[in-house]
């Protein structure tokens, strides 16, 4: 048993070193990015003739039952500095059953840059968010389009910083995970795991440098795309029936020969995706199995891997203390500490508390349980419920 824990500890040390290096390679929003040799070259027409010397940015916001979020979201967008850009804000009320439209109109009365659209009947086979985004794309006039979820809040420099990075890239897609605000216990435990999975496993620099779609991580909560790349990739019409539509869109952009960048945006954006434990569970359950490519072998691998690295050392530590085995306790404690520190570093990088890393064994256990629940829901055909809609 000591040998197994020694191997686990060594692996965790290597992962810690990789994580520190990996996070240092993430581009920052507001900084230019360098073009890669594999990227296709395009002749860009003059897009400024209608707007002086300022590029037009379209902010596109799908909203379904977002009464509690949409007003603050819109107010954060309208409060952004726009000295170097022109701005249009397009919102679609996607068959909301609450006071979403009323909240939108309150902000519209104060800012004429906002245009409101009403969602049409969902076509057969389409999923709701993809169709809402598709409808917004039909009305966008900007050079770049920024899709933003209603629970996202922007800081004052966010839009201008986004355009600096976008225009240096010239084409393609840029995304980033907002700083995740959390309140309830399961939010604290589970929500930061999204950033952990990326920082711990995915070589961030390869998202930008490699044309291979396997190197991808994006979020539909904050996703910026050049209008021509949207057309070349097929847009949401191409991925109309995918639950994880943001990843599929990014994959299509890469397959079209355009770049994708995952940027550090947490200083410019924040979001509270969920408000209670039930929402956390159902929200992750809806996406997590689809995020594995619906691959049962990957589900099994993740379960074993996370159990060995983050849960097994805790079990062994408790057992070694109870049975008086100091050597085993030392290796178990070392493995636990390294895993916690690594999680804490990623949390701190993402704008959360370093001390959340102390809950790493619990976070890993919750993630495994949600993944298994998501897999079972797919197997038994019950699907997933979110905002009044059922997803298969």
pLDDT digits (tens, 9 = 90+) for 114-145: 999 999 999 999 999 999 999 999 999 999 99
Q: What is the pLDDT of residue 46?
A: 54
pLDDT tens column, 236-268: 999 999 989 999 999 999 999 999 999 999 999
Model pLDDT, residue 45: 61
Residues 6+ apart with CB under 8 A from 87: 56, 57, 59, 80, 113, 159
Q: What does the domain layout of the chain look like in residue ranges?
A: 55-185+198-274
At 285, the pLDDT band (50, 70, 90 cuts) reads very high
Backbone angles phi, psi at 148, to 5 degrees: -130, 135
- Tokens linked to 184: 């309830």
Average pLDDT over residues 7-30: 97
- Residues 344-388 have pLDDT tens digits of 999 999 999 999 999 999 999 999 999 999 999 888 877 777 666
Tens digits of residue pLDDT in 219-234: 999 999 999 999 999 9
Cβ atoms 73, 103 nearer than 8 A: no
- Asked if pLDDT for residue 171 goes beyond 60, the answer is yes
Provide the β-strand partners of residue 89: 59, 114
Residue found under tokens 């994959």: 251
Inform me whether the pLDDT recorded for 49 exceeds 50: no
**Pairing mode of beta strands 179-180, 269-271:** parallel
200 or 294, greater pLDDT: 200
Quote the pLDDT of residue 390: 67
Pick the CATH number of 55-185+198-274 from 1.10.3720.10, 3.90.870.10, 3.40.109.10, 3.90.550.10: 3.90.550.10
pLDDT at 37 over 90: no
Q: Cα–Cα distance between 46 and 50 in angstroms, integer?
A: 10
Q: What is the predicted pLDDT for the residue at 306?
A: 97
| Pairing mode of beta strands 144-148, 222-226 | antiparallel
20 contact partners, CB below 8 Å, separation of at least 6 = 345
Q: Is 383 left (phi over 0), alpha (psi -120 to 50) or beta?
A: left
Q: Quote the DSSP letter at residue 65.
A: S
Residue 90 belongs to what H/E stretch? strand 86-93
Query: How are beta strands 389-391 and 384-386 bridged, if at all?
Result: antiparallel
**DSSP notation for 4-41:** HHHHHHHHHHHHHHHHHHHHHT--BTTS--PPPTTSPP
* Percentage of the chain exceeding pLDDT 90: 85
Assess whether pLDDT exceeds 80 at residue 17: yes
Q: If you average pLDDT over every residue of the chain, what do you get?
A: 93
Residue 52, pLDDT score: 58
User: What pLDDT does residue 392 have?
Assistant: 60
Distance CA 304, CA 324 (A): 27
DSSP category for residue 46: P
How many Å apart are CA 151 and CA 271, to the nearest integer?
Answer: 5
Q: CA 213, CA 260: separation in Å to the nearest integer?
A: 9
As given in the structure block, the two tokens for residue 196 are 């952990």
The pTM score is 0.92
Report d(CA 168, CA 160) in Å as an integer.
Answer: 13
pLDDT tens digits, one per residue of 295-350: 999 999 999 999 999 999 999 999 999 999 999 999 999 999 999 999 999 999 99
**Which pLDDT value is given to residue 53?**
77
């Amino acid at each position: 048993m000591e040998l197994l824990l020694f191997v686990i500890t060594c692996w965790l040390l290597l992962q810690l070193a990789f994580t520190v290096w990996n996070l240092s390679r993430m581009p920052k929003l507001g900084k230019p990015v360098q073009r890669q040799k594999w990227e296709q070259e395009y002749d860009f027409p003059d897009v400024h003739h209608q707007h002086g010397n300022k590029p037009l940015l379209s902010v596109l916001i799908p909203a379904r039952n977002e009464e509690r979020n949409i007003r603050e979201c819109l107010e954060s967008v309208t409060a952004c500095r726009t000295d170097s850009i022109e701005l249009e804000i397009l919102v679609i009320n996607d068959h909301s059953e609450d006071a979403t439209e009323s909240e939108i109109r309150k902000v519209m009365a104060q800012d004429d840059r906002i245009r409101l659209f009403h969602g049409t009947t969902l076509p057969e086979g389409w999923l709701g968010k993809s169709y809402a985004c598709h409808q917004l794309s039909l009305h966008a006039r900007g050079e770049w389009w920024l899709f933003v979820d209603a629970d996202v809040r922007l800081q004052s420099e966010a839009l201008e910083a986004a355009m600096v990075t976008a225009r240096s890239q010239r084409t393609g897609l840029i995304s980033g995970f907002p700083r995740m605000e959390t309140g309830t216990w399961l939010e604290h435990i589970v929500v930061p795991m999204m950033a952990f999975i990326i920082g711990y496993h995915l070589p961030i620099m390869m998202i930008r440098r490699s044309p291979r779609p396997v190197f991808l991580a994006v979020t539909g909560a904050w996703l910026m795309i050049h209008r021509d790349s949207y057309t070349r990739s097929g847009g949401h019409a191409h991925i109309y029936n995918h639950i994880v539509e943001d990843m599929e869109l990014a994959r299509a952009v890469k397959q079209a020969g355009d770049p994708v960048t995952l940027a550090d945006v947490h200083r410019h954006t924040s979001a509270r995706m969920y408000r209670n434990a039930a929402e956390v569970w159902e929200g992750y359950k809806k996406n997590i199995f689809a995020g594995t490519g619906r691959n049962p072998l990957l589900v099994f691998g993740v379960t074993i891997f996370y159990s060995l690295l983050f849960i097994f050392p805790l079990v062994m530590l408790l057992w070694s203390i109870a049975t008086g085995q100091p050597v085993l306790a030392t290796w178990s404690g070392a493995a636990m500490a390294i895993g916690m520190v690594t999680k804490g570093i990623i949390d701190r990088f993402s704008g959360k508390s370093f001390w959340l890393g102390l809950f790493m064994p619990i976070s890993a256990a919750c993630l495994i349980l949600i993944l298994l629940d998501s897999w079972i829901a797919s197997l038994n055909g019950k699907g997933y419920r979110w905002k009044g809609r059922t997803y298969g």
